[in-house]
Amino acid sequence: MRFTTPTQKAIVIAVLVAVDILLVLLFDALHSEAGSIALTVLQVLGWYLATRVFRGPGEPPEAARPWWRMTNRPLLSGVLGAVYAVSAIANAFFSFAGFGSVSGWVSILGQAALAALFLTSATRLRALARVPA
């Protein structure tokens, strides 16, 4: 199954965000460190899997997307990579300032992984755009 229209993508993202919010509320109510770690892993996997089924204009829906391709546009990949990178750096700062926990560091690693994937995507998409057809 491939999602190609903005409406389809919005529905998938809305479902992911809704499930994420419910799980955050549940694990926060349980005060579960293991639950928070599991949630971070699920979040990273969920967003990565979503990028596997989304397709942009000009992308063949039937072909598998390369592992590094997170979006169809270098600018979008770059912006999302920067957001995840800034978030990871800010959370690392707070962890070093004394607000850290094991689940917090796992979250930072998840954000850093997504930042690296999106920034790799931006770099490679820009390189592809420069290659003459």
Give 37-69 pLDDT, tens digit per residue. Answer: 888 898 899 899 999 988 888 888 888 899 999
Using DSSP, how many helices (H) and how many strands (E) does the chain show?
A: 4, 0
More confident residue, 25 or 133: 25
- Mean pLDDT is lowest, of 38-42, 91-95, 96-100, for 96-100
- Contact present, 118 and 80 (Cβ < 8 Å): yes
Name the packing angle between helices 74-94 and 102-130 (round to 10°).
Answer: 160
Q: Output 82-85 pairs: Cβ under 8 A, ≥24 positions apart.
A: 82/115, 82/119, 84/111, 84/112, 84/114, 84/115, 84/118, 85/111, 85/112, 85/115, 85/119
Residue 132, pLDDT above cutoff 80 = no
